[in-house]
Amino acid sequence: MNDNEIKDPLAINAMSDFRIWCSAMWEEHRDEVFNWTGKRVDYTSDQFFRKNKWYLKSLYTSRGKDRWEF
């Protein structure tokens, strides 16, 4: 690899807007469960995403530019 081909090391691990939004939704979900039940969730964010991936995708696309307004 020559100098012209060196990639920005910070860009390699950059998260997409969708992933950042999903992380915000996970935090909102955890807070909501705690407020309703008084208990913390007993599953991981990976389990939450696997179970709700299609719902999250449809919600993300349907909200468009308003997706960051919680």
Question: Which pLDDT does position 53 carry in this prediction?
Answer: 93
pLDDT score recorded for residue 36: 97
Q: What local confidence, expressed as pLDDT, does residue 64 receive?
A: 77
pLDDT in tens, 16-59: 888 998 999 999 999 999 999 999 999 999 999 999 999 999 99
Q: What phi, psi does 27 have (nearest 5°)?
A: -65, -40
pLDDT of residue 6: 57
Scanning the structure block, which residue is given the tokens 């979900």?
A: 29
